[in-house]
């Protein structure tokens, strides 16, 4: 029997509202800013909730680098037929490509505007 249930995944970043807005455009939902450096992404349609916390001295991970570990990343499921279109959208929203050259592979790796790695994964 589990001891606890996962409540929310929180990303540290320099601008919580900006990063929440990025993820709202990618996975849906509405940013709710508490005005004190915390933003919840509400109503994103299921799954584990995301929140964003102000970290003024945030140092983004560097992927792939053992010296600057990615610490964790988000896998975002996308229909295989939509991968190219979704890639264009996340790049237009401010993501950067980390590893997406192998188009035959089932995933592509990006960084969000604060530098956190995430993958678009074909489902």
Q: Taking a C-beta distance cutoff of 8 angstroms, is the pair 21, 37 a contact? A: no
Contacts for 81 with CB less than 8 Å, ≥ 6 apart: none
Q: Which of 13, 8, 10, 38 is nearest to 94 (CA)?
A: 13
The torsion of the CA quartet 113, 116, 122, 123, rounded to 10 degrees, works out to -110
Q: Which class in CATH covers the domain with range 59-123?
A: alpha beta
Q: CATH 3.10.180.10 in the chain, residues?
A: 1-58, 59-123
In a structure prediction context, what are the per-residue pLDDT tens digits for the chain, which is 123 residues long? Answer: 765 477 788 988 999 999 999 999 999 999 999 999 999 999 877 778 899 999 888 888 877 777 766 677 788 988 899 999 999 999 999 999 999 998 888 889 999 998 888 888 888
Q: Report the CATH fold assignment for 1-58.
A: 2,3-Dihydroxybiphenyl 1,2-Dioxygenase; domain 1 (3.10.180)
């Amino acid at each position: 029997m589990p001891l606890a249930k996962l409540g929310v995944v929180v990303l540290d970043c320099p601008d919580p509202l900006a990063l929440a807005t990025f993820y709202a455009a990618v996975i849906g939902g509405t940013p709710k800013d508490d005005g004190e450096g915390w933003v919840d992404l509400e109503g994103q349609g299921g799954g584990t909730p995301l929140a964003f916390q102000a970290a003024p001295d945030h140092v983004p991970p560097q992927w792939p680098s053992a010296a600057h570990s990615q610490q964790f990343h988000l896998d975002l499921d996308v229909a295989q037929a939509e991968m190219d279109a979704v890639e264009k959208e996340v790049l237009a929203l401010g993501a950067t490509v980390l590893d997406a050259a192998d188009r035959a592979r089932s995933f592509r790796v990006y960084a969000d505007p604060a530098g956190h790695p995430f993958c678009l994964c074909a489902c």
